[in-house]
Structure 1
Amino acid sequence: MPEALTSAAALGAQNLLAPAILFFVLGLFGGFAKSDLSLPASTSRTLSLFLMLCIGFKGGVEAAEAGLSEGFVRAGIAGLLLSLTWPLVAYPVLRRLGGLERASAAATAAAFGSVSVVTYAAGSDFLAAHGVVFSGYMTAVLAIMEAPAILTALIIARRAAEGSGAGHGMGSILREVFLGGPALMLVGSFLIGLTTGERGMARLDIFVNPLFQGALCLFLLDMGLAAARSLTDAGRPPARVLALGIALPLAGACAGYVASRLAGLAPGDSALLILLAASASYIAAPAAMRTALPEARPGVYLGLALGVAFPFNLILGLPLYALAAGAL
């Protein structure tokens, strides 16, 4: 155990020197220092869509090469079950240990039950940099895990909104979850990559491969700025709630580890499933919760997902989860 922790610490220090991570740290510094450094909202959205296009398309091409395998089915079922059930674990923890009101606890449970596409992008880049092989179909598993947790949390959200007059129709919420720009781009790009295969990759290679790292650096710079601001706003969560921003990813990683072992996944795929289980959504889930629970506090669910869980997973989680999966 001490040797594993030492290895994780060494890999974490090495991971800090990756350009994408350093740009995230630069964004954190700029946000805490109250610098006027910023990216226009339209640029940030464009970068987000570009990253999802790259991730989805490349995953689709790789999945087309592999075909519909037993490994994909096992990984997909494991991811689906993790996403469906994790809000049921997170919600009572946030209520009892965090002392959150019902609305904010439900919204935060949705965020931690869903997944972060950018964390997945950083994780796949980290594994590739260390020569770890993983399956292209894990991008499809990512897409599978995004919505179920939100739907589970919406059941909790409806209970939280009872009598408040703040409830919204399920149709508008489902539209936000499934037809929101980022989700549609991810799934659509995967299907296009799956359909066109290597022929499509030959045409888009320059667009989705060499440009990916630069776009990721710019996006993580913006995420660093947003994370710092979410922790310096007046509505930031108290210390005991912030601590759950680390405890929940670690608990999710443990659940992901068990699920990956039961599914018999290869080390690279196992590392990504663990990372997905540990990640928290700061795009799809907050967008849905703004519609379902307008009374929930964004400073809580965004502060925990973006300000605590995201940097923790990015800097320390990646090497720790890869070691746990036996990928390194």
Structure 2
Amino acid sequence: MTSLLDPAILFFVFGVLAGALRSDLEIPPAIGKFLSLYLLMALGLKGGFALAESGLSPAMLSGLGAALFMAFLVPALGYAFLRRHVSRFDAAAVAAAYGSVSAVSFVAATQYLENQGMSPGAHMTVAMVLMETPAILMAVLLANAARQAARPVLVVGAGQAALSGMPVAGGASLGGILRESFTGGAQLLLLGSLVVGCLSGEAGKAVMQPFAGDLFKGLLAFFLLDMGLLVARNVGAARRASPVLLAYAVLGPLVHALIALGLARLLGLSTADTALLMVLSASASYIVVPAVLRHAVPEASPSLYLGLSLGLTFPFNILLGIPLYTWMAGAL
């Protein structure tokens, strides 16, 4: 209950209510983009400063390995389930969105853990970056397999063509899609900030504290207000989905979080790292991956994968999931 009274979470709820009431309250897109970039930069700097202090460790390698494993497992499980209820293209796109991660959920979870007196490893920021691309890669390959099944005459050599960088959909190529996922502005800013924080170390931390530390909570609350308004606009698309997909948008992340919990327990990760791994595994991308999927899988419905991830899964994780995952990690 305490987490729901956090000012940032309350602003998110306020944004959802304002949007539901059809208020003309609106955050200008330019300011919303600035807030998003600020949070990514601050998160990257925090991770870099912590990495400079801690250095390499077995715990870091275990955490990164677990994140990569979940990045491949979640979309594979999602596609195996969803293909029985929607088209293969929609199944691949939704599975990719849920196999990837939500940076905002990660930021909110990091803030929640810090409020609880827990300090996750800085390598978990790297883990978040690593978990973006595998889901995109799997979506492209699954969509190509669906196209080959629909056009058997083109099966011979199609896989080799896709892997060699030839067009896979609507003029897009696998190499171009993967390059976009690695060099997109959000990803690049996060990685660059991580490197800057790691190189500048303690001296850089002291200099950047007013920017990356003191302002963080206030700007996070402002950004979550904007996210609440955005969620209210996407709830309608989620409501139009079938009951099976609605259930998947809530129960799927819970299953993914439980698998991550078992894996973290097996590897002996800390409570804070376990909670963040659960959040990453349970979250769904609604910014980076949907943007790539529009080019990689144009046959899929954007309103479906975007509506489910942003209209249902994101608010569930922000309001209930993060404290639930943290409690479950601590209980074990």
Q: TM-score, normalised by structure 1?
A: 0.91
2:16 equivalent among 28, 38, 63? 28
User: Are the structure 2 counterparts of residues 167 and 257 from structure 1 closer, same or farther at C-alpha, using a change threshold of 3 Å?
Assistant: farther
1:92 equivalent among 69, 74, 80? 80
Question: Are 2:78 and 1:61 equivalent residues in the alignment?
Answer: no
1:185 equivalent among 174, 189, 194? 189
Gaps of 5+ in 2: 152-168
Identify the residue that residue 141 of structure 1 maps to in structure 2.
127
Aligned AA (1:79): A
Offset at residue 314 of structure 1 (A): 0.9
Taking only the aligned residue pairs, the percentage that are identical comes to 45
1:277 equivalent among 276, 281, 289? 281
How does 1:168-247 map onto structure 2 within 5 Å? 168-233=172-237, 236-247=240-251
Aligned AA (2:293): M
1-side partners of 2:26 and 2:13: how far apart? 14
2-side partners of 1:234 and 1:58: how far apart? 34
User: Are the structure 2 counterparts of residues 122 and 297 from structure 1 closer, same or farther at C-alpha, using a change threshold of 3 Å?
Assistant: same
Offset at residue 144 of structure 1 (A): 1.6
Decide which moves more: 260-269 or 74-83. 260-269
2:2 equivalent among 14, 18, 33? 14
2:68 equivalent among 80, 89, 97? 80
User: Are the structure 2 counterparts of residues 160 and 26 from structure 1 closer, same or farther at C-alpha, using a change threshold of 3 Å?
Assistant: farther
Offset at residue 161 of structure 1 (A): 4.3
Aligned AA (1:90): G
Identify the residue that residue 159 of structure 1 maps to in structure 2.
145
Identify the residue that residue 298 of structure 2 maps to in structure 1.
294
Question: Are 2:128 and 1:150 equivalent residues in the alignment?
Answer: no
2-side partners of 1:210 and 1:85: how far apart? 38
Aligned AA (1:36): D
Offset at residue 172 of structure 1 (A): 2.3
Equivalences, count: 314
The answer on whether the counterparts of 2:238 and 2:246 sit within 8 Å (CA) in structure 1 is: no
2-side partners of 1:233 and 1:106: how far apart? 18
User: Are the structure 2 counterparts of residues 219 and 65 from structure 1 closer, same or farther at C-alpha, using a change threshold of 3 Å?
Assistant: same
Identify the residue that residue 7 of structure 1 maps to in structure 2.
none
Offset at residue 159 of structure 1 (A): 2.5
The answer on whether the counterparts of 1:236 and 1:299 sit within 8 Å (CA) in structure 2 is: no
Identify the residue that residue 129 of structure 1 maps to in structure 2.
115
Identify the residue that residue 102 of structure 1 maps to in structure 2.
88
Offset at residue 311 of structure 1 (A): 0.8
Question: Are 2:260 and 1:256 equivalent residues in the alignment?
Answer: yes
1-side partners of 2:193 and 2:79: how far apart? 33
2-side partners of 1:112 and 1:234: how far apart? 15
Aligned AA (1:188): G
* CA root-mean-square deviation: 1.8
SS in 2 for 1:325: helix
SS in 2 for 1:38: coil
Offset at residue 234 of structure 1 (A): 9.0
1-side partners of 2:104 and 2:52: how far apart? 23
2-side partners of 1:288 and 1:36: how far apart? 30
Question: Are 2:118 and 1:118 equivalent residues in the alignment?
Answer: no
Offset at residue 224 of structure 1 (A): 1.2
User: Are the structure 2 counterparts of residues 219 and 236 from structure 1 closer, same or farther at C-alpha, using a change threshold of 3 Å?
Assistant: farther
Offset at residue 167 of structure 1 (A): 6.0
